[in-house]
Structure 1
């Protein structure tokens, strides 16, 4: 990788990449602390990114390379629509969608060749970046369940096997200060507390349908609405919740790793072929 010898046409994309990395790191900080990303956070990225994007496309046209970029335009449109639909069907948060759409639009190509070289999807130097960011983010996100499984085994936490990968127990008295989604259902019959895990399939179906899953954020923001649930959680002692690592963190890691290390998908293909 040689950042300093990157084509001049890629300079505006390099600026956009730097601005988005700073923006996303700040967004991760806010998402962890406040469980929400302020809308104003995106304004500086847009204010800088749009002029840089215009400069980039003008430079591409001036260089006579617009024809080489044509195959990437349908990919850009497809990814933007796909990310919107992810949010529409409750598969992704609004902040995550905004981040991925901004990456797709403002940094459609690698500003410079990463360590492992350019991946597929494009003609150097116009190689599609968003797919690499998304794939790397998914890989980073998939590492988390293994981490939680190891943590639960070490701590001796007991639960059906799938749940050992999906979450961990927290104190019911402090659940509103945690970050995640409640994985158990509680009922009280004749003064006796009964509990059961929510089925994984049912939880996913409910999540997609925008159902009544209990988010710990809601417990903190609307305690009066969840008085009954909070009382049961406190009586239970511990409550299992799914891990609530914001997807914005893997997205940020995916962008940084894609820019500098390259596309993990392409790297795995080359590893298998060789």
Structure 2
């Protein structure tokens, strides 16, 4: 499993760098993926050559349809705008370059310990989804610790940032501001209205837009500075949970099996 271990290490370094760029620049450079592909393909050839020459191909064959299914599924996620391009590239590379565990995780291999149940991409994706679902709880605890005050739903959905540096943050503005005769008024945008507006393609204010089009949002930026702080929804790029899911799957194993074990005798 040495070739898969090399691919896992190279891909993990690539993903960590991608997370850094996604947070700082709100975009992942395409060239970032080239080294992982250049190293990954020879390692993949080495892996499958070893499988064939060792006589293990019949046991590993179930991985092939799984790889094809997941690659097509991830492509369709992007095609129908359910996932960003960088997220899709990350998941496809994980699926193709590290199709199974390069070593036994701390909790052991999922289920029976042989293909297709050692399919690492599923474990990485499931772990990523679980970690992503835990984010609202993490933000709620953070807001309580910091003493941030807002209606209860917003404590789970966001946090306050400095108005003068809001363009450097990552998320969507959760408040509405108006200035009348020098008096600034503010109110939280109702959660239901915000969701309906987003699905309808309405004018939600993204911090990314503030950074890329400051002239277009000159009035809003001035109001945010006067307000001092502005609540924004957390905008953690999904590439971060993907990276965390990949790392936890490699080291700890499958969260799905951990959850399943709670209900098994």
How high is the TM-score relative to the length of structure 2? 0.88
**1:84 counterpart = 2:75:** yes
Structure 2 residue aligned with 1:21: 12
| d(CA) in 1 for partners of 2:200, 2:59 | 41
Q: Return the match for 1:260 from 246, 251, 256.
A: 251
- In structure 2, do the counterparts of structure 1 residues 232 and 81 end up closer, same or farther at CA, with 3 Å as the change threshold? farther
**How do 1:83-122 and structure 2 match up within 5 A?**
83-120=74-111
Unaligned residue ranges in structure 2 (runs of 5+): none
Greater shift, 248-257 or 200-209, is seen at: 200-209
Quickly say closer, same or farther: Cα 1:205–1:76, change in 2 above 3 A: farther
2:262 corresponds to: 271
Cα deviation, residue 193, structure 1: 4.4
Find the counterpart in structure 2 of residue 6 from structure 1.
none
Per-residue deviation at 1:224? 1.0
Query: Which secondary structure state, in structure 1, belongs to the residue aligned with residue 134 of structure 2?
Result: helix
In 1, the alpha carbon distance for the partners of 2:89 and 2:219 equals 35
Give the number of aligned pairs: 265
CA contact (8 A) 2:176 2:186 kept: yes
Separation in structure 1 between the aligned mates of residue 14 and residue 136 of structure 2, nearest angstrom? 27
Q: Quick one: which of 197, 216, 228 aligns to 2:188?
A: 197
| Gap regions ≥5 residues in structure 1 | 1-9
Contact 2:60–2:115 (8 Å) recurs in 1: no
Query: Which of 233, 242, 246 lines up with 2:233 in the alignment?
Result: 242
SS at match of 1:257: helix
Compare 255-264 and 87-96 and name the one that shifted more: 87-96
Q: Of residues 10, 20, 23 in structure 2, which corresponds to 1:32?
A: 23
Distance 1:151 1:41, change over 3 A: same
Q: Matches of 1:206 and 1:77 in 2, distance apart? A: 36
**Distance in 2, Cα, partners of 1:73 & 1:178:** 41
Q: Which moved more, 1:195-204 or 1:174-183?
A: 195-204
Distance 2:254 2:240 in 1: 18
Residue equivalent to 1:224: 215
2:163 paired with 1:172 = yes
User: By how many angstroms is 1:231 displaced?
Assistant: 2.4
CA deviation after TM superposition for structure 1 residue 138, in Å: 2.0
The answer to whether the Cα contact below 8 Å between 2:128 and 2:243 also exists between their aligned partners in 1 is: yes
